[in-house]
Structure 1
Amino acid sequence: MMSAVALQLSCVGALLAVSVLAVMLARWRIGNAVVYGATLLLCGAACFGALRVLVTGAAPGPGLVLPIGLPWLGAHFRLDALSAFFLVVINLGGALASLYALGYGRHEHAPQRVLPFFPAFLAGMNLVLLANDAFSYLLSWEFMSLASWALVMAHHRQSGNAQAGYVYLLMASFGTMALLLAFGFLAGPAGNYAFDAIRAAPHSGAAATLVLVLMLLGAGSKAGLVPLHVWLPLAHPAAPSHVSALMSGVMTKVAIYGFIRVVFDLLGRPDWTASVVVLLLGGVTAVMGILYALMERDLKRLLAYSTIENVGMIFVGLGLALAFQANGQGLPAALAFTAALFHIFNHSLFKSLLFFGAGAVLVATGERNMDRLGGLIHRMPATSIVFLIGAVAISALPPFNGFVSEWLTFQAVLQSPQLPQWGLKIMVPAIGGMLALAAALAAACFVKAYGASFLSRPRSPAAENAREVDRFSVAAMAILALLCLLAGIFPGLVMDALAPVSAEILHIRLAGQTELPWLSIVPIDLRRGSYNGLLVLAFIAISATLGFLAILKLSSPAVRRAPAWGCGYAEPVPLAQYSPDSVAQPLRRVFGTLLFRARDHVTMPPPGSVAPAKFSVELHDLIWENLYGRIASAIEFVSTRLNNMQLLSIRGYLSLVFATLVALLVVIAIWA
């Protein structure tokens, strides 16, 4: 009988075969159905196989070694609880993206630029999770990055997409270099790149610190940690919407997997100081990500920035787990780790749902600018309902799944008084306050996104003439919306499924949750907190029903119609409604003045003039201008000076070669 890892690799091989087949079928009308139908089946099979390994809690097998890769090493692949969980996340997202693309892909004007790379992208992500040596991991990582880059460049002729692809390629190369150095330090002088050998080898404190920094740079750049996030709001909106959902909801999780694999598994028990860096980066990323999103009027860029916020929350959970683990506090560490994993799963659901919704809006209207949307709740009722569920879930409102994982994270924050270090005792509550601020800002952000896009009146002919999208797209969104609800009202099932991961990485797990009465969850102790999603759902349903009946009973049966107050105008035009900028204006004035140097510019014509008044918002990305802009200027300055070397004489070139040789000999002498 074929082993679990062999079955997963068979699915990867089949995905690569579909990618080759797509090259031949891309220009045919049947190609869309064949390619996405095949990826739907293969991702579904891979998801089911990984879920079976995760739920049964089977011990990881010996793995599989293929005679490819480095001659003395080969290619090692292994399936354990950690990789099984992430395989479920990746392949569930891939299956639903394929279902969505069966309808969405019909509108693709350049399918030959998308179809061959879509299954290859999925195959690359799967290979990263299965790799059990550094060479296979890095090779799979680069394959995943290049396939996703090709998908970002699918619409390269559209304004800004070529720049997005260029920035993405630069950041991906930088991240890979950091990972390469990290694995080099992990392998040490022996040069054994197999994960089993790295796991068994001792690592000094200095090497562990350096590896942690390199992993934050390498995995953090792909995940979207601030200030390494600059590529994400450019590349994710540039890709087709089903690819955007995979990049934002799924590929960022592959980066987080790499961080967990190295820092929690290969490095061994961490020092508590490592948690300080992770906690600080996570808290800053969460707040900055959602503030960036609040300033946006482009729907897909808003969702991309929101991913940065959620990645920050995940890293806060991981930082808490590092802090508790370093101090030998097993249960709080398992709680924080489970909260991070739960949020990884939840974010893959509601962020994919929201990107699918944004893609449906784009198909129906051709618009991403929320200033030109509005009124879609009447023209796209199914999309508006599922998008609302995604907005409520990502805003961490019960009874949906986003609330549960964030509640678990705050429960872990409340365990911080147990930590012996005063620095952590002070820092962790401060980070908890930053998470609370980010959660509140997220709710405001998605009130803005949903209200400007789906409510009010249409602000453009495109929005006024919109129609509901195809049944495949609606079905994919409906499945994700249902999963958001089920994970919110039955969180104990998810937490118990995550227990084998915690047991494998931290060697401790939370108590079983499905055994508790009324499907409640008690993370640590009943006296410290419990939650019951089913009762919350029942309370919300009963309260809403009673409120509706009371209003119906107590209200007057007479109907009186009157025009809404429009500041003295009998028939206000749609453009006079609240816009995305006006909704965000109070928060922009509070936070944006300092963090974005935000300025509102109002031009009022003089009395008697018929010229229109003008309003504009000036925002500055200080991280881009002060960090990446200066790096680019320095590179340009140096490269301009180095161009003069092309005009050297023969004597000059010989002198340069001689000086280089002397410098190398000096370095070798010092090194020896």
Structure 2
Amino acid sequence: MAPTVAILCWCIAALLGTATLAVAANRSRAATPLIYGATLAVCVTAFLLALRYLLSEPVAAAVLTLPLGLPWIGAHLRLDALAAFFLIIVNLGSAMASIYGLGYGRHEKTPHRVLPFFPAFIAGMNLVVLADDAFTFLLSWEFMSITSWALVMAHHRDEGNRRAGYIYLVMASFGTLALLLAFGLLAGQSGNYEFSMIRTAHHTPLIVGLVLVLLLLGAGSKAGLVPLHVWLPLAHPAAPSHVSALMSGVMTKVAVYGFIRVVFDLLGEPMWWSSIVVLVLAGGTMVLGILSALFETDLKRLLAYSTIENIGIIFVSLGLALAFQADGMGWAAALALTAALFHALNHSIFKSLLFFGAGAVLTATGERDLDKLGGLIHRMPVTSFAFLVGCVAISALPPLNGFASEWLIFQAILQSPVVPQWGLKIMLPAVGGLLAFSAALVAACFVRAFGTAFLGRPRTPAAERAREVDRYSLAAMLGLVALCVLTGILPGLVIDGVSPVTQALLGARMPAQTGIPWFSIVPIAQGRSSYNGLLVLLFIASSASLAAFVIHRLASRAVRRGLPWGCGLPGLTSAMQYTPGSFAQPLRRVFGTVTFRARERVEMPRPGDMRPARLTVEMRDLIWDGLYAPIVAIIGFAADHLNRLQFLTIRRYLSLVFLSLVTLLLVLTLWS
């Protein structure tokens, strides 16, 4: 399989070459189809290579060493089952974004700011997954961060985008620093940064705990774990829509890959208490992410907050896998890890679909504010259908793929009575309750998003003038619709495809699913639980068809006309329908007062006063106010005072240097 790694390296080189070609093409008309077409070809090649490798169920990993990187170790690349699975996610999402970009890119006002960095960003993500030493991993990670930052700043004239890019750059640098410290602890005094050497090293419980914390800070900040999520709802909407799909659907999975690679592969046997740390963070991430999405009116920011919630779901399953692995329950750990990987794949599919739909709405209307949309189902029927499928999938409703993976996570949670620790016996059902609670809120959130954007009447002339988008954008969305359906009704194929990953990391795997009749999946035993997406689809289709048949056959054919009751008004207008704010008001009053300090202020004019009544809602980000705002204030205070150092005289500079030398000598004397 070594030639496979070499071909993947050539694919990465081709992506970097495409980025260079984009710089040379600059503002040429042919640049957009040329760059996105070349990127599509390379991503499809890499996707097929990774899929072929994973389905062959490799026993040994394929490795390759390049004469780059640190002089004494070079650049090590490795393709194993885990890397192959995430290469599938990266290149599948990138290929779909490239197809979408063929049409969406024609509307881009500054394509020269997007085209060079788009293939480079994809190359960086591929290189992170293939890296097999700490230096190559961190270099690729930083390259991925910088190229994605450049894409966020593509529309840099918008002040909000500049702020989003600045916060993203700061958080990315913080995450890289945390990962650097984590790999330094893993390398130890020997300084061996090769992953093969780190795997064989013995780590004390203190080192394991410190690495876990640093990894949650580093990979968790890139993934969007609370409270490190503040950059994500700012940066993802600021980028072009197909880049937003890549960042939200794919880049966050590269962060999940980094966590899995270190915790389940390099760190050794986990401690049971480490799962509690992960579960607590994941549970808070789920609930806060979906509550933030529920109260958001910007369509792309809503989808970004929803990504935070789904990252929480993935980390819940990873925390379960850690707990079961620590207790020697290989079969349960394999179930939880399979569910996490399955949901990572599913999220990359339906979140890319939803961002593509949001991009189509933005292209057709120039708006992404839900208060300025409405009635788009009549003007953009294909986009409306695709977005509806994405909403159903992300709401975890059968028979689509979101339900299959979340059902597996619930099956893993139901194993909580088997664990011996009382802390986990209490924690796991609580996390299961939070997962069920967040699932209900997700359904409400996307009923609100689809209903206010696509149903009802247009609220603005821009929504009334909307037309369907180009065929490339529609093709990308319909392709993802097909994947949502296929992975939902045939989940056993995905589960068996993931089995080599769990076998390599945990030494266990779920039972083979492809041999079970009618494409059912049985995670543990036939008598305990099973699910069949195909039968559910057939039941839904047959019952809906039967109901339609009965209604049309038995109902009266007479035409009856009547005026609708309009509350005494002669005609209905768009102002008489639900708005995003009114839909979310009951939940905001219940949960928003605690989590966001939501306050409503009503200005009601006195009788006879012709001024309109006003309802103002104020919400605060408590994490930003309580954690990041004080840090910003301290840094600003220190910078203002340290700024005086550049105005000292020569005598004071020499005195400062002298005092610094004396202080260092005293420290060395006391240390020795």
Whether these two folds match at TM > 0.5 is yes
In the alignment, what sits opposite 1:387? 387
Aligned match of 2:228:
228
Post-superposition offset of 1:158: 2.0
| 1:332-358 CA distance string (max 9 Å, x none) | 100000000000000000000000000
Q: Which moved more, 1:283-292 or 1:653-662?
A: 653-662
2:485 match: 485
Hey, what does 2:596 align to over in structure 1? 596
Match of 1:652?
A: 652
Cα separation, 2, equivalents of 1:239 and 1:146:
13
Tell me how far apart the structure 2 counterparts of residues 280 and 79 of structure 1 sit (CA, whole Å).
Answer: 32
State the 1:546 CA deviation: 1.5
1:537-548 → structure 2 map (5 Å cutoff): 537-548=537-548
Map of 2:524 onto structure 1:
524
1:362 maps to a residue whose letter is: L
SS in 2 for 1:328: coil
2:261 counterpart of 1:244: no
**CA deviation string 1:279-329 (max 9, x = no partner):** 110111001000000010000000000000000000000000000000000
Q: Paired residue for 1:586?
A: 586
Preserved CA contact (<8 Å) 2:2 2:63: no
Q: Corresponding residue for 1:629?
A: 629
SS at match of 1:169: helix
Residues of 2 paired with 1:615 and 1:572: CA distance? 22
Query: 1:15-54 alignment to 2 at 5 Å?
Result: 15-54=15-54
Q: Aligned with 1:78: secondary structure?
A: strand
> Match of 1:608?
608
Task: Give the residue type in structure 2 aligned to 1:619.
Answer: M
Question: What residue in structure 2 maps to residue 124 of structure 1?
Answer: 124
CA RMSD of aligned residues (A): 1.2
Higher deviation after alignment, 447-456 or 615-624 = 615-624
> Aligned to 1:65, what secondary structure does the other structure show?
strand
How far off is 1:669 after superposition? Answer: 4.4
Which secondary structure state, in structure 1, belongs to the residue aligned with residue 634 of structure 2?
helix
Shift of 1:584: 0.6
- Native 8 Å contact 2:598 2:619 kept in 1: yes
The number of aligned residues is 672
Deviates more, 1:196-205 or 1:634-643: 634-643
State the 1:384 CA deviation.
0.3
Output the amino acid matched with 1:442: V
In structure 2, how many angstroms separate the alpha carbons of the residues matched to 1:494 and 1:214? 32
Task: Note the 1:62-461 alignment, pairs <5 A.
Answer: 62-461=62-461
Counterpart-to-counterpart distance in 2, 1:446 and 1:563: 32
The match for 1:552 is 552
Q: List per-residue Cα deviations over 1:405-442 (Å, max 9, x = no partner).
A: 00000000000110000000001100110010100000
Gaps of 5+ in 1: none
Q: What residue identity is the alignment partner of 2:30?
A: I
* Amino acid of the structure 2 residue aligned with 1:403: F
Quick check: 1:576 aligned with 2:586?
Answer: no
Question: How far off is 1:113 after superposition?
Answer: 0.1
Structure 2 CA distance for aligned equivalents of residues 564 and 191 of structure 1:
78
Cα distance, 1:188–1:669 mapped onto 2, change above 3 Å: farther
1:427-486 deviations in Å (ceiling 9; x for gaps): 110011001010000000000000010000000000000000000000000000000000
Contact map agreement 2:2 2:64 (CA 8 A) in 1: no
AA at the equivalent of 1:199: R
1:544 positional shift? 0.9
Q: Is the 8 A contact 1:60 1:79 kept in 2?
A: no
Per-residue CA deviations over 1:364-416 (Å, capped at 9, x if unaligned) read 00000000000000000000001000000000000000000000000000001
Please say which of residues 641-650 and 576-585 is displaced more in the overlay.
641-650
Q: Return the letter of the residue paired with 1:233.
A: P
Out of 629-638 and 183-192, give the one that drifted further.
629-638
Structure 2 CA distance for aligned equivalents of residues 123 and 314 of structure 1? 24
Listed one character per residue, the Cα deviations across residues 132-168 of structure 1 (whole Å, up to 9, x for unaligned) are 0000000000100000000000001124000000000
> Could you say what secondary structure the match of 2:617 adopts?
strand
Give the distance between the partners of 1:120 and 1:360, measured in 2 at CA.
24
- The CA distance in 1 between the partners of 2:373 and 2:445, in whole Å, is 16
TM-score, normalising length: structure 2: 0.99
Does the residue aligned with 1:69 lie in a helix, a strand or coil?
A: strand
TM-score between the two structures when normalised by the length of structure 1 = 0.99
| Conservation of the 8 A alpha-carbon contact between 1:60 and 1:81 | no
Contact 1:177 1:218 (C-alpha < 8 Å) held by counterparts: yes
Distance 1:540 1:559 in 2: 30
What letter matches 1:484 in structure 2?
C
Say if 1:641 and 1:85 are closer, same or farther in 2 by CA, change over 3 A.
same
How far has the Cα of 1:610 moved from its partner? 1.8
Q: Look up the match of 2:470.
A: 470
Is residue 133–residue 194 contact of structure 2 (8 Å, CA) maintained in 1?
Answer: yes
Judged with a 3 Å threshold, the aligned counterparts in structure 2 of structure 1 residues 93 and 670 are, in CA distance, closer, same or farther, namely farther
CA–CA separation in structure 2 for the residues paired with 1:669 and 1:174 = 33
Preserved contact between residue 2 and residue 62 of structure 2 (Cα < 8 Å)? no
CA–CA distance in 1 between the matches of 2:115 and 2:9?
21
Pairwise CA distance, 1:667 = 4.0
Question: For the residues of structure 2 that align with 1:325 and 1:564, how far apart are their CA atoms?
Answer: 62
Q: Is the 8 A contact 2:236 2:301 kept in 1?
A: yes
Shift of 1:563: 3.9
* Shift, 1:108, TM fit: 0.4
Structure 1's 537 and 361: CA in aligned 2 closer, same or farther, altered over 3 A? Answer: same
Alpha-carbon contact 1:55-1:497 (below 8 Å) kept:
yes
- Secondary structure of residue in 1 paired with 2:76: strand
**CA distance in 2 between partners of 1:367 and 1:120 (Å):** 29
AA partner of residue 179 (structure 1): L
Work out the CA distance in 2 between the residues paired with 1:670 and 1:418: 54
Secondary structure in structure 1 of the residue aligned to 2:367: coil
Shift of 1:554: 3.5
**Aligned amino acid, residue 145 of structure 1:** S
2:398 alignment partner, SS class: coil
Deviation at 1:189, TM superposition (A): 0.4
Q: String of CA shifts for 1:510-543, please: whole Å, max 9, x gaps.
A: 1100011111100011222110001100111111
* Helix, strand or coil at the partner of 2:69: coil
Deviation for aligned residue 1:551:
2.2
1:606/1:331 CA distance change after superposition, 3 Å = same
* Structure 1 residue 656, shift from structure 2 partner: 2.4
How far off is 1:58 after superposition?
A: 1.5
Which residue number corresponds to residue 501 of structure 1? 501
Does the 8 A contact of 2:131 with 2:137 survive in 1? yes
Residues 26 and 32 in structure 1, CA contact (< 8 A), matched pair in contact too: no
- Using the alignment, how far apart are the partners of 2:326 and 2:561 within structure 1? 66
- For 1:564 and 1:624, locate their aligned partners in 2 and report how far apart those are by CA, in whole Å: 48
Deviating more after overlay: 518-527 vs 462-471: 518-527
% of aligned pairs identical? 66
Structure 2 unaligned spans of 5+: none
Amino acid at match of 1:109: K
CA distance in 2, matches of 1:42, 1:468: 29
Q: Would the alpha carbon gap of residues 195 and 612 (structure 1) be closer, same or farther in structure 2, given more than 3 Å must change?
A: same
Cα drift, residue 646 of structure 1: 2.7
SS in 1 for 2:190: coil
Does 1:664 find its partner at 2:664? yes
One-letter code of the match for 1:155?
H
- What CA distance in whole angstroms lies between the structure 1 residues aligned with 2:50 and 2:66? 21
Contact 2:5 2:62 in 1 (8 A): no
- Does the residue aligned with 2:70 lie in a helix, a strand or coil? coil
In structure 1, give the amino acid aligned to 2:58. Answer: A
For residues 286 and 263 of structure 2, the distance between their equivalents in structure 1, rounded to whole angstroms, comes to: 21
- Between the aligned partners of 1:666 and 1:197, the Cα distance in structure 2 is 38
Q: Please identify, of 67-76 and 652-661, the stretch whose mean Cα deviation from structure 2 is larger.
A: 652-661
CA distance in 2, matches of 1:306, 1:390: 12
In 1, Cα distance between equivalents of 2:667 and 2:568: 80
Q: For residues 564 and 587 of structure 1, what CA distance do their matches in structure 2 show?
A: 30
